């Protein structure tokens, strides 16, 4: 704050410890921010001359636009432990801490590849549906374009997202994107899978479905038929344009809220079966070892989760005063019901405002005003979804699994603010 003011008079009483304000504060018409950020204009600066961009014509049109070169630091994050020769297997992450809202630009959508991005000629691509069906059928891209479509906004999250935190004894000092960036949100358009399954006629005894990709990994997962008949989609478009190669061009299986790898990209085959296939991709990984030594299999739904992005590691504080805490929350089970924020390491909590519309299985932006007094603070966010499921603490999450199990990590993320304003990753 530029001026010394009576904080309570301007903002009302804090609603939780360490300066958290009521979520409706910023919906009021108010002069409360006066001096927080604006500079009174010097009279001389008014009309003191035009900026250089007004003195010569700007750039010409182009067929497909790109972000500003002034923001070329905003790029996907290649996992640092991948040797160059293996750049087809691994992942690149969404730089969450630089982004806002709920839609991830397709160019910054995270990618998890098991053997590179194939270059598929869409005129030659075929989707085969076979197995326990009345009429095995092949669908081309052109034929799918004739079907009724639907448009829905959903998040996508890798089952291994945030796994580095699960496995590490000491909290890694890294950005929100480094830690949690196997997460993105998109508007998807495509054909409801149940329409196609109705058409081929699924045997009532079929309980599972194999989904196989046309990549060099032959990425394959078993999916329960209830999900295929519920809200599964053959996605053909992402954020309005044809789905991109890294996301499965010309088509991917979309299973809203299920772990990312089951949303099989470059989808070429669905086989209806009476049990799961136990492919290499669901036995060698994507199972969760429990404390008793047994592995949990087919834990497909992503649990409620959230992460504060402003502030977060590298997005530091700039002096005491007013801030908006902002981040994203999501749940694979449905809508986010609420996000609670703590500034005192979990002792007290305040409910954040959610950006409307709050959609099922979609990234939900939350915001909460905060008057930071300049002292140490520990920020936490905790999602409760519409099924009543709540993000666990770090210790609660670890207790569910055997050591080094690192899938489905959804514990509360804690960011410590030092007196110097630096933000660090801490376990609470």
Closer by beta carbon to its own copies, 357 or else 403? 357
Closer by beta carbon to its own copies, 39 or else 284? 39
User: What b/e string do you get for 414-424 counting C-beta neighbours within 10 Å, with b at 16 or more?
Assistant: bbbbeeeeebe
Report the nearest approach of its own copies to the CB of residue 37 (Å). 4
Q: Which of 10, 88, 299, 428 binds its own copies (CB under 8 A)?
A: 88
Q: Are 264 and 253 in contact (CB under 8 A)?
A: yes
Q: Are 19 and 375 in contact (CB under 8 A)?
A: no
Q: Is 194 in the site for its own copies (CB under 8 A)?
A: yes
Closer by beta carbon to its own copies, 147 or else 298? 147
Report the nearest approach of its own copies to the CB of residue 231 (Å). 13
Interactions with its own copies, residue window 91-130 (CB under 8 A): 92, 98-109, 111, 113, 115-122, 124-126, 128-130
Q: Is 261 in the site for its own copies (CB under 8 A)?
A: no
Q: Is 374 in the site for its own copies (CB under 8 A)?
A: no
Q: Is 273 in the site for its own copies (CB under 8 A)?
A: no
Tokens representing 258 are 């299920």
| CA 115/CA 108 separation, integer angstroms | 19
Q: Is 320 in the site for its own copies (CB under 8 A)?
A: no
Q: Is 275 in the site for its own copies (CB under 8 A)?
A: no
Q: Which of 337, 338, 365, 394 binds its own copies (CB under 8 A)?
A: 365
Q: Is 147 in the site for its own copies (CB under 8 A)?
A: yes
- How many of the other CB atoms lie within 10 Å of CB of 115? 13
Closer by beta carbon to its own copies, 356 or else 420? 356
One DSSP character per residue, 188-248 reads: EEEEEHHHHHHHH-B-TT--EEEEEESSTT--EEEEEHHHHHHT-EEEEEETTEEPPGGGT
Q: Is 386 in the site for its own copies (CB under 8 A)?
A: no
Please report where in the chains the tokens 């992942």 appear, as a residue. Answer: 91
Report the nearest approach of its own copies to the CB of residue 139 (Å). 5
| CA 269/CA 253 separation, integer angstroms | 10
Q: CB-hemisphere CA count at 13 Å for 72?
A: 3
Report the DSSP beta bridge partners of residue 92: 78, 111
- Region near its own copies per CB under 8 A, out of 155-163, 241-249, 283-291, 420-428: 241-249
Tokens representing 263 are 């949303």
Q: Which of 301, 326, 342, 410 binds its own copies (CB under 8 A)?
A: 326
Report the nearest approach of its own copies to the CB of residue 409 (Å). 22
Q: Is 37 in the site for its own copies (CB under 8 A)?
A: yes
- From the list 250, 266, 273, the residue with the least C-alpha distance to 218 is 266
Q: Is 3 in the site for its own copies (CB under 8 A)?
A: no
Give the H or E element holding residue 8.
Answer: helix 7-11
Q: Is 306 in the site for its own copies (CB under 8 A)?
A: no
Closer by beta carbon to its own copies, 122 or else 418? 122
């Amino acid at each position: 704050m530029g001026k010394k003011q009576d904080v309570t008079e301007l903002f009302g009483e804090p609603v939780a410890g360490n300066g958290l304000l009521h979520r409706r504060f910023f919906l009021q018409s108010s002069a409360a921010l006066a001096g927080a950020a604006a500079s009174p204009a010097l009279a001389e600066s008014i009309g003191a001359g035009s900026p250089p961009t007004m003195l010569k014509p700007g750039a010409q049109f182009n067929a497909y636009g790109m972000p500003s070169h002034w923001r070329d630091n905003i790029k996907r994050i290649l996992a640092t432990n991948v040797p160059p020769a293996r750049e087809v297997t691994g992942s690149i992450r969404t730089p969450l801490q630089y982004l806002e809202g709920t839609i991830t630009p397709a160019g910054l959508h995270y990618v998890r590849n098991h053997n590179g991005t194939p270059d598929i000629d869409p005129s030659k691509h075929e989707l085969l549906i076979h197995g326990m069906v009345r009429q095995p059928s092949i669908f081309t891209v052109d034929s799918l374009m004739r079907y009724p479509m639907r448009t829905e906004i959903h998040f996508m999250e890798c089952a291994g997202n945030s796994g580095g935190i699960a496995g590490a004894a000491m909290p890694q000092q890294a950005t929100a994107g480094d830690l949690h960036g196997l997460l993105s949100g998109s508007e998807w358009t495509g054909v409801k899978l149940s329409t196609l399954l109705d058409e081929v006629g699924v045997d009532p005894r079929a309980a599972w479905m194999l989904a196989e990709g046309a990549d060099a990994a032959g990425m394959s997962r078993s999916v329960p038929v209830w999900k295929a008949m519920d809200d599964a989609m053959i996605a053909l478009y992402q954020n309005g344009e044809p789905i991109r190669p890294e996301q499965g061009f010309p088509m991917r299986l979309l299973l809203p809220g299920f772990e990312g790898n089951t949303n099989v990209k470059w989808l070429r085959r669905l086989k209806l079966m009476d049990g799961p296939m136990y492919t290499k991709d669901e036995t060698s990984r994507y199972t969760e070892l429990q404390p008793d030594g047994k592995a949990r299999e087919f834990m497909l739904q992503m649990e409620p989760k959230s992460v504060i992005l402003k502030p977060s590691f590298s997005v530091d504080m700039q002096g005491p005063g007013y801030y908006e805490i902002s981040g994203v929350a999501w749940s694979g089970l449905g809508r986010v019901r609420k996000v609670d924020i703590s500034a005192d390491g979990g002792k007290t909590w305040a409910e954040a405002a959610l950006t409307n519309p709050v959609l099922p299985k979609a990234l939900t932006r939350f915001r909460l005003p905060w008057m930071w007094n300049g002292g140490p603070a520990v920020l936490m966010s905790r999602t409760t979804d519409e099924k009543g499921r709540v993000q666990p603490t770090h210790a609660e999450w670890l207790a569910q699994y055997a050591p080094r199990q690192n899938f489905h990590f959804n514990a509360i993320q804690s960011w410590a603010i030092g007196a110097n304003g630096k933000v660090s990753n801490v376990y609470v």
